[in-house]
Amino acid sequence: MQTLQRRRILQAAACAVAAPHLGFAVAGQADAYPGRPVRLVVGFPAGGSADQSSRRLAEQLARQLGQPVVVDNKPGASGNIAAAVAARSAPDGYTLFYGTNATHAMNVSLYPKLDYDPVKDFAPIALEGKVYNVLCVNPAFEARDLKSFLALARSAPDRVAVATPGNATSGHLSLVLLNRAAKVQLAHIPYKGSAPAITDVMGGQLPAIFDNVAGNLAYIRSEKIRPLAVTSRSRLPLLAQVPTFEELGLPDCELAAWGGLWAPSGTPAPIIERLNHEVNRALQTAAVADRMRELTIEPQGGTPQALAEFARNETARWREVIRTAGIRLD
C-alpha cells in the first residue's frame, strides 16, 4: 500500500509542476474522452447477478460513450484482488471498478491487511444498485411467520439453525443483526456458497436460510422455501407479499448489498463528472433498469459525493457490527 500511496504523491507532484497548462489539458482530455475502449474491472465470476448487472450497464455505457466498455472479471478474496488491480491502474478514465459493500465498506474490518485503500485509492462515480436479503424457511417447518420463528428460537434454540452462503457474507451479517435486534441466539451454519445451503434447507437438513433475494427468488416462487421477511426498508416489488423486518418491529435489521462505480484516484474531475452523468443516464434506461430489477437489484444513481458519504457511513456501521461479532477473514 505504501508503494501505491507513493505513486499517488508523485502523480500529484507532477500535476503541480504542470499547473499553468493543466486547465487546458484536462479540459481537452475530457472533451476527447473516451478515445478508446474502457475497461470495467469486476470482482465476481461471470454469470452471477453482479456480473450480469455490471455487463448490462457496460453495454449501455458503451452505446452512450461511443466506445466499447469491456468487463474484466477478476474474482477472489471478496473483491480484494479486483480492487487492487483497479487501484494500480492509470487514473485516466480507461479503467473503472465495480466496487461493492465488501470492497468499499466491510473488507477493511474483515481482513488484517488490504493491498488497496478503499478511500485514498479510488474516486467515486455513482452508486449503481442495491440488493436485499430474505429470511426463508423450509415449507414444512412449524414456524409460519417471523413472530413464531423467533418465539421458537427463544423456547427451543437447539431446533432453530440458520444457513448462510458463508462467513462474513451479507447473509451472515443479516443473521448477526437479527440476533442483536430480536435478542435471540440463532445458530449460524455457514456454507461455501448459496447453492448447497439452499439445497439443504429445501431437503430439510436445516430449517432456515438467510441469503440475498436473487439467490432465493426462484425457489420462493416455486414454493420450495417460504419467505418470512426481507431486509429492505419498504416491500420489494418482486416480493410484495413479504413483510419487511421494519414492519415487524425490527428496523435495525435493514441491510443491502450494493455496487457502485469508482475510478482510480487522480482521475481528472471532468472525466468523473462525465462518467457520473452517463451512469445516471444509463440507470434510467429500460434496458438497464428493467434487467436490474429482474435480478432483484434496485437501481440507485446519484452524485460522486453521495456515493462517498454513503460508503463512509456503511464503513462505520459495519466496523462496529463486525468488531462486536468477532468476524474475521484471512
pLDDT per residue as tens digits for the range 180-220: 999 999 999 999 999 999 999 999 999 999 999 998 999 99
Domain boundary among 223, 253, 283: 253
pLDDT at 49: 85
On whether both 158 and 90 belong to a single domain, the answer is no
Q: Is 14 within the bounds of a domain?
A: yes
Distance CA 218, CA 93 (A): 38
194-215 burial, b at 16+ Cβ within 10 Å, e below that, comes to beebbebbbeeebbbbbbbbbb
Distance CA 59, CA 224 (A): 35
pLDDT at 29: 59
pLDDT at 15: 45
Alpha helices in 66-166 (DSSP H): 80-87, 101, 107-110, 146-155
Q: Is 86 within the bounds of a domain?
A: yes
Task: Tell me the mean pLDDT in the region 242-262.
Answer: 97
The band of 18, judged by pLDDT with boundaries at 50, 70 and 90, is: very low
pLDDT at 328: 94
pLDDT at 21: 46
Task: Tell me the mean pLDDT in the region 157-178.
Answer: 96
Q: Is 203 within the bounds of a domain?
A: yes
| pTM tops 0.85, yes or no | yes
pLDDT at 48: 85
Residue 92 phi, psi (nearest 5): -120, 5
Q: How many domains does the chain have?
A: 2
| Cell numbers placing 261 | 462505480
Give the CATH number of the domain where residue 8 resides.
3.40.190.150
- The pLDDT mean for the chain works out to 92
Q: 143 lies in which domain range?
A: 132-253
On whether both 140 and 126 belong to a single domain, the answer is no
| Cβ atoms 98, 40 nearer than 8 A | yes
| Cell numbers placing 143 | 414456524
On whether both 56 and 192 belong to a single domain, the answer is no
264: enclosing H helix or E strand: strand 256-264
The band of 20, judged by pLDDT with boundaries at 50, 70 and 90, is: very low
Does position 30 have pLDDT exceeding 80, yes or no? no
The band of 47, judged by pLDDT with boundaries at 50, 70 and 90, is: confident
Q: Is 183 within the bounds of a domain?
A: yes
Distance CA 260, CA 125 (A): 7
On whether both 233 and 297 belong to a single domain, the answer is no
Q: Is 330 within the bounds of a domain?
A: no
On whether both 201 and 234 belong to a single domain, the answer is yes
Domain boundary among 253, 279, 312: 253
Does position 12 have pLDDT exceeding 70, yes or no? no
On whether both 216 and 264 belong to a single domain, the answer is no
On whether both 21 and 118 belong to a single domain, the answer is yes
Q: Is 37 within the bounds of a domain?
A: yes
On whether both 181 and 272 belong to a single domain, the answer is no
Domain boundary among 253, 270, 287: 253
On whether both 121 and 50 belong to a single domain, the answer is yes
On whether both 7 and 47 belong to a single domain, the answer is yes
On whether both 249 and 142 belong to a single domain, the answer is yes
